[in-house]
């Protein structure tokens, strides 16, 4: 059986929970739900089952060459969807077809550091969605073997925990241990009735640390909490802007159905010293809340990865992750961690709560500080020695449980080598008082919790100590802060931990006072990270030697040894200590290569030998066209090849005589395996292509043919059907009783005839379509104009205009003709921007372009069904006025509007934020009808508004259609067009304005109707905030009982908007801001909740006065 190219064992949980012992062996049946027991929930011998990963979803990383060959993938940005849910790569699309993939979208936002993101391949990850009934593991296995796939992963889930609550700063043994902590009472199942325990003085010396120059820390030092969110407006927390990656909005409030964990972590790190509750480790530092739980409480690893990129790009100094997975690495998360680390972030993660000898990922990552949990009696937090007293998945400990009495969990310990990947770095206090959600939203009305536990508690405490170090030493690097944290930790010595570093407690208990004492940086350190042993380098190639360092030295020396470190040759002297140095690998081969970096008083060399070998012989292999193909003259194809060698550019040539003579196609083009080529106009049966690079050359294995484009019309083209027969460029397609006729009856628009589509047999649904074949090779702009009318209300989603650029093999719908509200038997003119609509659909204009006119219904014209077309033309806009080709920011007001918009020209732009309004202007010289079309990339809802010279709105396009179209009968003068996003939507777009057509009228579109709702969803109400009323929209995947209620902030019922059976599809309810008794509600925050079998979702709304 095929095997999946990704880690073979994966689970993802918040480590405040007992980690799930998932052991998914890939290439077997999909893993079932497994027992799961959160440590905050106490002893749970019978844990409930939980799913391991998000159903109906797989992540796939394309190779660089595959992405470069996929126009659709390259044209799609984060937040959009790949056109057609297919890449245009046969090997991959075949798997997606079999899986019934419904959506393909970029997995991650676009990091600010584009160079680093490209190096890590961030943009090459895509999320594939399909029906939840499909076997995600099997689909991942199939994708892993497809050509063009570099890596595959499931989207694993992390689960938030429930946190018990009670205040009291005096109980905080982590700051000042006076043996005041109350151990867990197994008789009463609580801490409140336990006995005081602890080793006096075994704490972090936080109070002494706060007396140092940095005090409680600096508000400019930001701690990112990647978790379930943080309570908005908590009086004991200082917060900066964050983001909600679970629901993809700007509100990171800790408000999911599984809330509280993130707010508790934030308080441990930085609750204010303000006489409220209990102070955190760094009370004056700021919290950046990064929520990775959606409204249902589900946390996916794609959300966590996006949060890492966002934190790095938005000023986070410290990143705290109380989460983990039982894997050695994960390609997607490794890339995000590397990006954040290279941006200067100090990253901490929990070691895990299973009392196991392997720490969790990402704590195992070498760029992450692994934090274990400390018991108040001077030990690593341990579990019971009895299997009957530990939670499922937790290992027993031969030394027995620690004095805190929480027998059901213990802190994981790692490998026995200091500073190695997989080693514990430090331990920090656990079972502490901290912040809780406010009032009735939380688990205690006091807004604070007393017994927050797990390594999830220890991790943000250590993060707070790092924030104090950063506050005291603002210029220090993340490496220096890590070194200070570990070098000043208090050594833990007991029965399991010997003097100095050990695998159980690492360097020991964090010591805040020692960490901020003095201003002398840690001892100079240098660590070579590449090449560090085991690598195979190629002679005369260029690589980057990389290293990390601690200390104040600003330059380093680099040397190379070919004999394992016996003798050395200088590479560079006094080069900047920036962690990287380009190096041309020597020409001499060796199996005992090492590099050395020296700076200040520190020196380090590769841990083991690496190899330098001669490069393989240059090789090129043409893969397309490779013989036997029949290419169409004037069409566009991609020449493809594979290569071996270090050459970076290639030359491509074409022969029409079997390789006797050659004509250059392109010289010095990048060696990326693909090159677009417009097939020459001349016919031949002996065509070949040749690719040359380095010392290698290859040509097509056999001859291919070039044939003329038969039956494809050149531009300009027009027809009025008056001859009574379709010309050579048309063909028809019908099913069942569908028919296409050229008739004189039913009043043509002009001339004697028009093209009529209907169904010849009543009550027999059929397709009637006509295809116009166009040669658009070399065409960059084209307009399609036609006159259209319906003979009865057309409501079928199939009705419309479709495009194909593969000769009609496949079609993409670009325009809907299903306007049920139109007057019957009324001619309307439709003008479409072909190039703009094709680009939105991911289709290139070429020599085999087909436009399909399609009607679907079950009655003849006499039965009030069917439609007619007349006076169809396809033209190239002539004498276009000068116009812009891209958006120029800022343009959020009419006074800085871009323009002018040229008639018939598609103007590109992008709405980048909720406050971004793109303005354009146009001058109408002759009164007439303006036609506006806004083609939107992806699924975002953008709208346009037309204003006259007095800035009075005169028309708008604000439906959910794509393209968003409309008309206006304009007098001469200046007009303005504004484009923005509905409810903060963002997307790129193409705006097209045409005009001057007498009686022109584009039908108002209702949007392309979906094939069917595939998932339940509750949408954000609109307007929001509101005073007099709001609309609540939701989607149902299947018919069932639906209950929609309004609840106030204290959880009390306000009103029931729906309680009964409803069909599948899109629905909308109205709420006038009144209770079920008709009383007007007070201004404030309210929630609306949808409940249907197997699905519940809650959203927030605001009522104003």
The Cα–Cα gap between 991 and 974 comes to 17
Q: Are 514 and 399 in contact (CB under 8 A)?
A: no
- DSSP letter assigned to residue 604: E
The Cα–Cα gap between 490 and 511 comes to 6
- DSSP letter assigned to residue 1021: P
Alpha helix (H) residue ranges in 406-503: 455-472, 478-487
The Cα–Cα gap between 616 and 646 comes to 9
| Among candidate residues 904, 1098, 1103, the one with its CA nearest the CA of residue 991 | 904
Active site residue 227: yes
Q: Are 136 and 52 in contact (CB under 8 A)?
A: no
What does the block give as tokens for 262? Answer: 């993130």
- DSSP letter assigned to residue 308: H
Q: What DSSP letter does each residue of 35-76 carry, written as one string? A: E--BGGG---SSPPEE-SEEEEEEEEEE-HHHHHH-HHHHT-
Q: What DSSP letter does each residue of 491-506 carry, written as one string? A: P--SSS--SS-BTTTB
Dihedrals φ, ψ of 349, to 5°?
Answer: -145, 155
Please pick, among 449, 456, 471, 933, the residue that the annotation labels catalytic.
456
Specify the DSSP element, H or E, that contains 801: strand 800-804
Please, what is the angle between helix 261-270 and helix 455-472, to 10°?
A: 40
What does the block give as tokens for 80? Answer: 């959009």
| Among candidate residues 263, 262, 279, the one with its CA nearest the CA of residue 271 | 279
Q: Are 1054 and 1086 in contact (CB under 8 A)?
A: yes
What does the block give as tokens for 232? Answer: 């908005």
Active site residue 138: no
Dihedrals φ, ψ of 466, to 5°?
Answer: -60, -35
Q: What DSSP letter does each residue of 870-911 carry, written as one string? A: EEEEEE---SPPP--SS--S---SGGG-B-PPPTTPEEEEEE
Q: Helix (H, G, I), strand (E, B), or coil: what is residue 182?
A: strand
Please pick, among 261, 709, 766, 816, the residue that the annotation labels catalytic.
261
Specify the DSSP element, H or E, that contains 706: strand 704-707
Q: Helix (H, G, I), strand (E, B), or coil: what is residue 263?
A: helix
953-957 and 942-947: which strand pairing? antiparallel
The neighbour count for residue 723, using CB atoms within 10 Å, is 12
The Cα–Cα gap between 841 and 835 comes to 10
- Give the contacts of 118 (CB within 8 A, at least 6 positions apart): none
What does the block give as tokens for 886? Answer: 């891209």
What does the block give as tokens for 972? Answer: 């001469």
- The Cα angle at residue 670 between residues 669 and 674, in degrees rounded to 5: 90
**Sheet with strand 1030-1036: strands edge to edge:** 1017-1018, 1030-1036, 1065-1071
**CA-to-CA dists, residue 492 to 372, 378, 397, 402, 507, angstroms:** 13, 7, 18, 14, 8
Please pick, among 138, 155, 227, 436, the residue that the annotation labels catalytic.
227
Residue bearing tokens 């007099």: 1028
The Cα–Cα gap between 403 and 600 comes to 45
**CA-to-CA dists, residue 275 to 236, 266, 272, 465, 995, angstroms:** 9, 17, 8, 21, 68
The Cα–Cα gap between 370 and 707 comes to 65
Active site residue 1041: no
Q: Which residues are catalytic?
A: 227, 261, 456
């Amino acid at each position: 059986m095929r095997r999946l190219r990704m880690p073979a064992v994966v689970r993802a949980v918040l480590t405040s929970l007992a980690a799930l012992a998932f052991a998914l062996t890939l290439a077997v049946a999909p893993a079932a739900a497994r027992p799961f027991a959160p440590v905050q929930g106490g002893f749970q011998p019978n844990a409930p089952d939980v799913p391991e990963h998000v159903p109906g979803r797989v992540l796939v990383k394309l190779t660089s060459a595959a992405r470069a060959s996929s126009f659709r993938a390259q044209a799609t940005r984060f937040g959009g969807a790949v056109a057609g849910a297919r890449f245009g790569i046969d090997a991959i699309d075949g798997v997606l077809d079999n899986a019934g993939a419904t959506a393909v979208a970029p997995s991650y936002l676009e990091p600010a550091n584009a160079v680093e993101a490209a190096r890590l391949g961030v943009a090459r990850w895509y999320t594939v969605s399909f029906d939840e009934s499909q076997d995600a593991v099997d689909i991942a296995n199939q994708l892993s073997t497809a050509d063009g796939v570099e890596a595959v992963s499931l989207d694993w889930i992390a689960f938030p925990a429930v946190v018990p609550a009670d205040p009291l700063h005096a109980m905080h043994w982590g700051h000042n241990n006076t043996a005041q902590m109350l151990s867990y009472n197994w008789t009463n199942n609580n801490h409140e009735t336990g006995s005081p325990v602890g080793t006096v003085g075994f704490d972090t010396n936080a109070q002494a640390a706060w007396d140092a120059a940095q005090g409680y820390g600096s508000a400019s030092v930001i701690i990112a909490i990647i978790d379930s969110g943080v309570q908005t407006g908590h009086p004991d927390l200082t917060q900066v802007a964050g983001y909600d990656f679970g629901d993809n909005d700007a509100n990171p409030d800790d408000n999911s159905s599984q809330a509280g964990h993130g707010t508790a972590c934030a308080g441990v790190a930085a609750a204010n010293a303000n006489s409220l509750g209990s102070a955190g480790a760094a009370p004056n530092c700021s919290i950046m809340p990064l929520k990775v739980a959606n409204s249902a409480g589900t946390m996916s690893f794609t959300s966590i990865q996006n949060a890492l990129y966002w934190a790095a790009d938005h000023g986070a100094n410290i990143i705290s992750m109380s989460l983990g997975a039982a894997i050695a690495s994960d390609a997607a998360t490794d890339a995000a961690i590397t990006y954040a680390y290279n941006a200067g972030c100090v990253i901490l993660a929990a070691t895990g709560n299973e009392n196991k000898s392997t720490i969790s990922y990402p704590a195992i990552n070498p760029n992450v500080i692994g934090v274990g949990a400390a018991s108040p009696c001077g030990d690593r937090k341990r579990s019971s020695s009895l299997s009957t007293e530990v939670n499922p998945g937790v290992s027993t400990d031969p030394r027995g449980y620690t004095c805190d009495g929480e027998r059901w969990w213990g802190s994981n310990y790692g490998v026995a080598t200091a500073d190695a990947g997989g080693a514990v770095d430090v331990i920090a206090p656990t079972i502490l008082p901290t912040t809780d959600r406010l009032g009735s939203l939380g688990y205690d009305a006091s807004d604070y919790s007393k017994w927050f536990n797990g390594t999830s508690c220890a991790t943000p405490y250590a993060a707070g100590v790092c924030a104090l170090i950063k506050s005291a030493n603002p210029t220090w690097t993340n490496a220096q802060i890590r070194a200070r944290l570990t070098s000043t930790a208090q050594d833990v010595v007991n029965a399991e931990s010997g003097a100095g570093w050990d695998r159980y407690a690492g360097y020991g208990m964090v010591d805040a006072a020692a960490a901020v004492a003095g201003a002398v940086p840690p001892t100079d350190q240098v660590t070579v990270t590449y090449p560090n042993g085991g690598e195979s380098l190629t002679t005369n190639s260029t690589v980057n030697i990389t290293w990390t360092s601690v200390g104040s030295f600003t330059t380093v020396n680099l040397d190379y040894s070919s004999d394992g470190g016996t003798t050395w040759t200088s590479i560079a002297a006094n080069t900047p200590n920036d962690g990287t140095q380009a190096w041309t690998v020597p020409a001499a081969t060796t199996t005992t290569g090492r590099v050395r970096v020296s700076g200040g008083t520190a020196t380090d060399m590769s841990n083991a030998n690496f190899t330098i070998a001669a490069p393989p012989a240059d090789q090129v292999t043409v893969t397309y066209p490779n013989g036997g193909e029949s290419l169409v003259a004037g069409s566009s194809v991609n020449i493809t090849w594979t290569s071996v060698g270090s050459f970076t550019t290639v030359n491509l040539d074409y022969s029409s005589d079997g390789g006797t003579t050659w004509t250059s196609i392109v010289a010095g083009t990048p060696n990326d395996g693909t090159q677009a080529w417009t097939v020459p106009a001349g016919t031949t049966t002996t065509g070949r292509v040749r690719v040359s690079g380095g010392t290698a050359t290859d040509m097509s294995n056999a001859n291919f043919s070039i044939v003329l484009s038969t039956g494809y019309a050149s531009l300009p083209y027009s027809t009025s059907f008056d001859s009574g027969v379709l010309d050579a460029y048309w063909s028809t397609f019908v099913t069942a009783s569908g028919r296409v006729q050229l008739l004189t009856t039913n009043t043509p628009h002009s001339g004697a005839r028009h093209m009529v589509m209907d169904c010849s047999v009543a009550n027999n649904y059929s397709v009637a379509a006509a295809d116009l074949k166009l040669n658009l090779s070399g065409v960059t702009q084209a307009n399609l104009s036609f006159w259209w009318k319906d003979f009865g209300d057309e409501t079928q989603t199939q009705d419309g205009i479709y495009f194909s650029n593969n000769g009609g093999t496949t079609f993409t719908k670009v325009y809907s003709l299903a306007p049920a509200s139109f007057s019957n038997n009324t001619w309307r003119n439709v003008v479409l921007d072909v190039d703009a609509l094709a680009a939105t659909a991911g289709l290139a204009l070429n020599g085999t372009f087909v436009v399909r006119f399609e009607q679907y219904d079950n009655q003849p014209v006499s039965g009030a069904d069917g439609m007619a077309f007349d006076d169809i033309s396809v033209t190239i806009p002539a004498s276009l006025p000068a116009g812009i080709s891209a958006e120029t920011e800022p343009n959020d007001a009419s006074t800085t509007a871009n323009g002018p918009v040229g008639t018939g020209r598609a103007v590109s732009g992008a709405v980048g934020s909720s406050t971004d309004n793109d303005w354009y202007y146009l001058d109408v010289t002759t009164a007439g009808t303006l036609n506006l079309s806004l083609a939107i990339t992806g699924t975002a809802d953008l709208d346009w508004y037309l204003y006259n010279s007095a800035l009075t709105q005169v028309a708008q396009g604000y439906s959910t259609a794509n393209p968003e179209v409309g008309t206006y009968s304009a007098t001469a003068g200046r007009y303005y067009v504004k484009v923005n996003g509905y409810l903060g939507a963002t997307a790129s777009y193409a705006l097209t304005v045409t005009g001057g057509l007498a009686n022109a009228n584009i039908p108002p579109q209702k949007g392309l109707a979906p094939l069917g709702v595939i998932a339940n969803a509750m949408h954000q109400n609109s307007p929001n905030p509101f005073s007099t009323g709001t609309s609540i929209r939701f989607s149902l995947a299947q018919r069932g009982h639906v209950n929609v209620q309004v609840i106030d902030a204290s959880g009390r019922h306000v009103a029931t908007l729906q309680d009964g059976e409803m069909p599948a599809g899109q629905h909308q309810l109205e709420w006038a801001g009144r209770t079920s008794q008709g009383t007007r509600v007070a201004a404030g925050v309210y929630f609306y909740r949808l409940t249907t079998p197997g699905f519940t979702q809650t959203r927030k709304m605001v009522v104003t006065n």
